Amino acid sequence: MDGIDIQAIRLYWLMIWAVVGSGITPLIFDRKNRSPWQGAFIGLVVGIGSGQIFGYLLLTTLFPVAPDLAGWVSMLGGLVLLIPLWFLVPETTKISLQNRGFVAGTITPLMFYLLVLSVFPLLWALVLAFFEYSPREVGGPILGLGGDNPFVGFQHFETMMSAARDGRTFRNSLGNTLAFTVMVLPLNMLITIPLAVMIESVHKFLKPVFRTIYFLPVVTSSVGVAIMWGYIFHAQYGLLNDVIGTLGVPPVAWLQDQRATVLGMPAALVAVVIAYLWQDFGYNLVIFIAALQGIPDSLKDAACVDGASSTQVFWNVTLPLLRPTIMVTSVLTVISSFQVFDIIQVMTQGGPGRPDSSPTRVLVLDIYENAFRYEKMGWAAAISLVMFGMVAIITLIQSRVLRSDWEY
């Protein structure tokens, strides 16, 4: 069966019939007064087994005759055992919990989806962090581990602290990621909170207009945003150099010159931060507007009656009541800042300069290149594990510092 990726087709059989079996069988079991949760488990097992066994039989049988249709017809293999199960399962007179079939048929496929596509990859990355793994190498019988993909223990983490090139590149990426986050988080808060207060003060018919305008960059493609800002910061025909050229300032290679700085920060990093903020701040802005609408007017009116100015009301009433929202938005901003990739990949490709000294090479870019360009999956998994730990620690600190023990 040349030209057929059997592993990919087996994955299709697995996902399709696991979801169908665990989603429909509970409804049938519920109508026959049987436990829908039992039906979800049986449907899951039968769907996977039938899809794998009969899907392969259909594929091997039809491929010599109709190779173009064999792959599609093999997707029906799960029905071979599921349909008899649905029709032949006996109905009982025992009264069971009714109307739970929909719940079981909805929750079970979602749980399976999360386990296969979320939990398993996380566990797989945790395991790979302790192996020198490459998909090109021939490993052992268990998930390809061992053999030419040997167990290396904590070697990857020792390399991170060493003077080796990979270690220097990792430390540079980590520092750039932290610098990016430290720049983005306060700037985002300084922009969104006052802007949200101002939007809440305008006429009610104008509020939706402003919310829509400021939220539009959030739903815009990150690649499109990066291309647009890349043209603005272009060294030869960029809009920014045209503007400063009218003032007699020579053009600057904002994204290409490693020596260019803005207020002591690398110009390339500052350019990326500006592009990221332009696209991202509208998300937090909408959250803060919703939080401001939830603050009772009576609290602000009481402060005004006591003689407080609008500035005093903001600092002493509005801002303290926004503390829970500030915690949520700051946590989300830190997480998204650590995950920045597409804007940097398009605008600078992790440059300028070498990977161990570039001002815009971040952790996710380092993970991507090591995993998919150099096929050093174990090293990339170790970096991702460190990044996960740092995000978790920073999130816990933010939650601890910004949490509030009161409600209004």
146 part of a folded domain = no
Give the pLDDT of residue 2.
64
- Asked if pLDDT for residue 63 goes beyond 80, the answer is yes
pTM: 0.84
- Domain endpoint, select from 78, 113, 128: 128
Q: How many domains does the chain have?
A: 2
407 pLDDT more than 70: no
**Structural domain of 344:** 163-402
| Residue 304 vs residues 52, 68, 307: alpha-carbon distances, Å | 70, 75, 5
Q: Are residues 256 and 395 in the same domain?
A: yes
Give domain status of residue 88, yes or no: yes
- Indicate whether 232 pLDDT > 70: yes
* Residue that is last in its domain, among 102, 128, 154: 128
Residue 13's pLDDT band (cuts 50, 70, 90):
very high
234 & 307 share domain: yes
- 90 preceded by cis ω (within 30°)? no
Same domain, 185 and 119: no
The answer to whether residues 111 and 181 belong to one domain is no
pLDDT above 80: residue 93: no
Q: Which among 128, 144, 172 is the end of a domain?
A: 128
The pLDDT of 42-50, averaged and rounded, is 94
- Are 387 and 312 part of one and the same domain? yes
The pLDDT assigned to 98 comes to 54
Kindly state whether residue 408 falls inside one of the protein's structural domains: no
Q: Are residues 186 and 243 in the same domain?
A: yes
- Provide the percentage of residues in the chain whose pLDDT is more than 90: 55
Rounded distance, CA 67 to CA 54, Å?
17
CA distances 99 to 4, 83, 110, 154, 384, Å, are 43, 22, 19, 52, 43
User: Which pLDDT score is estimated for 168?
Assistant: 94
The widest CA-to-CA distance across the chain, in whole angstroms, is: 90
Which single residue is written with the structure tokens 């390339």? 268
Neighbours of 259 (CB within 10 A): 9
Structure tokens at 81: 């055992």
The per-residue pLDDT for range 31-41, each reduced to its tens digit, is: 888 888 899 99
Rounded to the nearest 5°, which phi and psi values hold at 348? -130, -10
138-142, 225-229, 254-258, 346-350: range with lowest mean pLDDT = 138-142
Least confident of 155-164, 178-187, 311-320, 325-334: 311-320
379: three-class secondary structure by DSSP: helix
Give 106: exposed, middle or buried? Use CB within 10 Å, 0-12, 13-18, 19+: middle
Element (DSSP H or E) covering residue 102: helix 101-114
Structure confidence by residue, pLDDT tens digits, 283-297: 999 999 999 988 888
pLDDT at 18: 94
In angstroms, rounded to a whole number, what is the distance separating the alpha carbons of residues 80 and 86? 11
Strands 265-266 and 261-262, sheet pairing: antiparallel
Q: Are residues 246 and 338 in the same domain?
A: yes
For residue 300, the model assigns a pLDDT of 82
Reported confidence tier of residue 1, pLDDT bands at 50, 70, 90: low
* Across 228-257, average pLDDT: 89
The answer on 218 and 123 residing in a single domain is: no
Residues 75 and 183 in one domain: no
Interval 268-294 mean pLDDT: 93
Among 48-57, 93-102, 315-324, where is mean pLDDT lowest? 93-102
* DSSP string for residues in 147-185: TTB-B-TTHHHHHHTSSSHHHHHHHHHHHHHHHHHHHHH
Please report the pLDDT score of residue 397 as a whole number: 93
Residue 215's pLDDT is 92
Q: Read off the pLDDT band of 5 (50, 70, 90).
A: confident
- 100 pLDDT exceeds 80? no
- DSSP H helices in 201-266: 207-215, 222-232, 239-245
**CATH number for the domain including 338?**
1.10.3720.10
Q: What is the pLDDT of residues 299-309, one digit of tens each?
A: 888 888 888 88
Residue 136 inside a domain? The answer is no
On average, the pLDDT of the chain sits at 89
Q: Dump pLDDT digits (tens) for 372-391.
A: 998 999 999 999 999 999 99
3-state helix, strand, coil in the chain (%, to 5): 70, 0, 30
Q: How many CB atoms lie within 10 A of CB 398?
A: 18
Predicted pLDDT of residue 70: 87
Q: Is residue 32 part of a domain?
A: yes
| Contact present, 339 and 363 (Cβ < 8 Å) | no
Asked if 105 and 192 sit in the same domain, the reply is: no
SS3 262: strand
Instruction: Please indicate, yes or no, if residue 118 is contained in any of the structural domains.
Output: yes
Residue scoring higher pLDDT (137 or 162): 162
Across the range 160-189, mean pLDDT stands at 94
Banded model confidence at residue 351, pLDDT cuts 50, 70, 90: confident
* pLDDT > 70: percent of the chain: 97
If asked whether residues 255 and 378 sit together in one domain, one would say: yes
Burial class of 388 by CB neighbour count within 10 A (0 to 12, 13 to 18, 19+) = middle
Asked if residue 137 is part of any domain, the answer here is: no
* Res 155 pLDDT > 60: yes
Asked if residue 1 belongs to a domain, the reply is no
pLDDT score of 94: 63
For residues 309-331, average pLDDT? 89
pLDDT value at position 99? 58
**Residue 93 buriedness (CB in 10 A; 0-12 / 13-18 / 19+):** exposed
Q: Are 364 and 341 within 8 A, CB to CB?
A: yes
| Same domain, residue pair 353 and 225 | yes
Mean pLDDT of 356-376: 92
